[in-house]
Amino acid sequence: MEPIPPNDVTSPDTSAPTQLAKPPMLAWWGIFPVVAFVALESILAQYEPPKPFEGPGSTIGYVVGGTLFTVLLAGLVAWIVYRISGRGQLEATVTFTSVIALLCMVVVVDSKRSRSRVVPPAARASAPVVRDFPSAGISVDTPAGWRQVPAEKAGIVTQWVGPDSTPGDVRQMIIIQAGKGRGDTVATANALAAKWGGRVVNDHVNLDGETACLVQAQPTKPALQPVEGLVAIHAGNLYLMTGGVTPGHSCDAEFETIRQSWKWIPIGAPEKEGHKP
């Protein structure tokens, strides 16, 4: 039997060094600050002042959107530190955690400011009812038993909540908004009807001499939702009165009371106060 030549023996190639897998940018414990932020957002969202016609879905969107923004921002800063430090996992994870902790403090401070702007029920009860709104050029009455509450956003002239409502559980609400007119009342009313799943029931409603369109819808969700809308244009401005309720409640009579009391006044007229509720 002939011996195998030495040159025919196959031997492993040890000339190339073995490459080790690169560690991830963040350590495993980097998930803890994310969990803490989600928990904080979820807790504070429950104490946020109620917003008109926003249900539980808005809270979920608030938490998810805030979490995504926070993770992306913290991840970007951590990646920069990771590259500068020569792929230092510890440095990147500490930076990631620090950014989230900073944003947690921002969320807490912002939540405190938001709650501080809410008028206490006792202060609301003692506040005089405003009937004339010269900046919008209208005068309206407050429905019996309803509370007039301060406007929370630009464009809102005034708003009321029903007697069954509390700061954390609004069940009936009517809002008047005003702004620069765009389009016509019928087109705007039809757009509202499509958005609410309702219909235009009357396009010749009298609103102190102006022709308005009335939109109605049925409440289909457990949260506060718009069921009545009145659209009008006066002096180049668009006016929208919206009534919202939760299932089992109504604002028909109060909506009609405001419509009947509606008066156009000169813009810039002196403001008047009515009776105290």
CATH code of residue 222: 3.40.1000.10
Instruction: Note the pLDDT of residue 122.
Output: 44
Q: Is residue 157 part of a domain?
A: yes
Instruction: Note the pLDDT of residue 150.
Output: 83
- For the stretch 30-41, pLDDT in tens is 899 999 988 888
The answer on 173 and 76 residing in a single domain is no
In the predicted model, residues of the chain with pLDDT beneath 70 are: 1-21, 46-59, 62, 114-128, 269-277
The answer on 74 and 153 residing in a single domain is no
Contact call for residues 27 and 90 (beta carbons, < 8 A): yes
Q: Is residue 109 part of a domain?
A: yes
Looking up tokens 């809308």 gives 229
The answer on 89 and 141 residing in a single domain is no
**206: three-class secondary structure by DSSP:** strand
- For the stretch 72-98, pLDDT in tens is 999 999 999 998 988 888 999 999 999
CA distance 83 to 79: 6
Contact call for residues 58 and 221 (beta carbons, < 8 A): no
Domain assignment of residue 101, given as a range: 28-116
CA distance 108 to 111: 5
The answer on 138 and 111 residing in a single domain is no
The answer on 74 and 132 residing in a single domain is no
Instruction: Note the pLDDT of residue 277.
Output: 38
